[in-house]
Amino acid sequence: MHRSSFCTKFLKRKLSSSSISSSKPIPNETIGAKKRIFSGIQPTGSLHIGNYFGAVRRWKELQDEGEDVIFSVVDLHSITLRQEPKELSRNILNCTASLLASGINAEKCILFLQSSVSRHAELSWVLACLATMPRLGHLPQYKEKSVSMKEIPLGLFIYPVLQSADIMLYKATHVPVGEDQLQHIQLAQHLGNTFNARYGHTFPPIKAMVEESGVARLRSLRNPEKKMSKSDPDPKSRISLVDEPKVIVEKCKKAITDFTSEVTYDPEGRRGVATLIDLVSLCTGKPPHQVCSENSDIDTGKFKLRVADVLIETLKPIREEYNRLVKDPSHIKSVLDNGAERAHSIADKTWSEVRKKVGITLQK
């Protein structure tokens, strides 16, 4: 999962035993296993503010805390649905530049392009031979994406297996995800247990790390019933990390709210307004009720302009660094190449072990 990627319901309950709150230290609960964190993000469009607060900011925190972290731009996942080749190539460059501009430091983590490490696809095939069609067919994202398709690409059906391979190839023990990805982590847990039971212990247990914050409620600015997404065909539905100030102002002005002028926080009843409040809360660190209190003297129309001001100020250093980085694609390629070399050193060891245990190698 080179990307991410990256939920629509607010987490009001405590996380289950398979999830770990990002607000607490990450325990190494796997006896004898080295704690390692893996996550990825798809290069299918410009990273938006939801990607930043939902994934990238947490990635930066983990690397700065000295955790063993591996991040991947998951280009193989992006071609699950049709992509224009030249645009995909540009998106890989832009996505990597956005990550670096957001504070991902290739000296503190491993950052690489998924397709540059062929072991992902090879391990995915082994795991596919352990997966079942009923299990994959019940995954909610497959159901959601395939419902309107006349012909369903095989990749859309089996990509969660590749996602499992992404994690297991590095023997990762923790994976930062949104709530909508929890069933995919459960699939990885299942495939790891199945492999271990059949061929001997190889893969450690995998724990999901779910962010407990307002990012869980960030919705499309143009359709508050939908999650904010970089694949949404309407660019006004999201705030890109590299949007110019005038673009941010225009998007905030066009954000769908309702006919109530007061700035109040109701994530279910006033989803559009709640998303704007969440954006300010995430950028400033102030709780939603304080944001409402500080803006009780204005209507939602004027509040949109204040939201734009906060976003412009928050994203300014990211946008400026991004604009500098994209002018030097050779540097970005070098970062990804160096990351791939480091990723290979781990992936090759795992793949060699898997081949021997499965028997797809000549025994001496």
Question: Edge to edge, what strands does the sheet with 174-177 contain?
Answer: 19-21, 207-210, 174-177, 37-41, 69-73, 110-113
pLDDT digits (tens, 9 = 90+) for 347-363: 999 999 999 999 998 87
The answer to whether 22 and 159 are in contact (CB under 8 A) is no
- Tens digit of pLDDT for each residue in 85-101? 999 999 999 999 999 99
Find, among 1, 12, 16, the residue nearest to 209 by Cα.
16
| CA pair distance 321, 325, nearest whole angstrom | 6
Nearest C-alpha neighbor of 4 from the set 164, 178, 179: 178
- Name the burial class of residue 310, with classes exposed (0-12), middle (13-18) and buried (19+) by CB atoms within 10 angstroms of its CB: buried
Q: Could you give the CA distance from residue 203 to residue 195 in angstroms, rounded to a whole number?
A: 8
In a domain, 84, yes or no: yes
Write down the mean pLDDT value for the chain: 90
Query: Is 7 contained in some domain?
Result: no
SS3 174: strand
- Pick the residue with more confidence: 146 or 249? 249
Same structural domain, 171 and 271:
no
Backbone phi, psi, residue 341, to 5°: -65, -40
> What residues make up the domain containing 318?
235-325
Question: Residue 260's domain is classified under what CATH number?
Answer: 1.10.240.10
338 and 287 within one domain: no
The residue whose two tokens read 């990351």 is 339
Q: Do 158 and 239 belong together in one domain?
A: no
Q: What is the DSSP string of 100-165?
A: HHTT--TTTSEEEEGGG-THHHHHHHHHHTT--HHHHHT-HHHHHHHTT-SS--HHHHHHHHHHHH
Same domain assignment for residues 60 and 197: yes
Same domain membership, residue 196 and residue 71: yes
Task: Give residue-wise pLDDT tens across range 38-68.
Answer: 999 999 888 999 999 999 999 999 999 999 9
Sequence-separated (6 or more) residues with CB below 8 Å from residue 52: 102, 241, 318
Give a yes or no: residue 319 inside a domain.
yes
Q: Are residues 199 and 292 in the same domain?
A: no
Instruction: Return phi, psi of residue 249, to 5°.
Output: -60, -45
Give just the sign of the alpha carbon dihedral 240, 241, 247, 249.
Answer: positive
pLDDT, tens only, 212-226: 656 767 899 999 999
Q: How many CB atoms lie within 10 A of CB 186?
A: 16
For 78-116, the DSSP string reads: HTTS---HHHHHHHHHHHHHHHHHTT--TTTSEEEEGGG
Say yes or no to pLDDT of 21 above 60: no
What phi-psi label fits residue 38: left (phi over 0), alpha (psi between -120 and 50 degrees) or beta? beta
Strand extents, DSSP E, the chain: 19-21, 37-41, 69-73, 110-113, 174-177, 207-210
Q: Please list the active-site residues.
A: 145, 227, 230
pLDDT tens-digit series, residues 147-178: 889 999 999 999 999 999 999 999 999 999 88
User: Binning pLDDT at 50, 70 and 90, where does residue 22 land?
Assistant: very low
Q: How many domains does the chain have?
A: 2
Please check whether residues 297 and 335 belong to one and the same domain: no
Torsion sign over Cα 225, 228, 234, 239:
positive
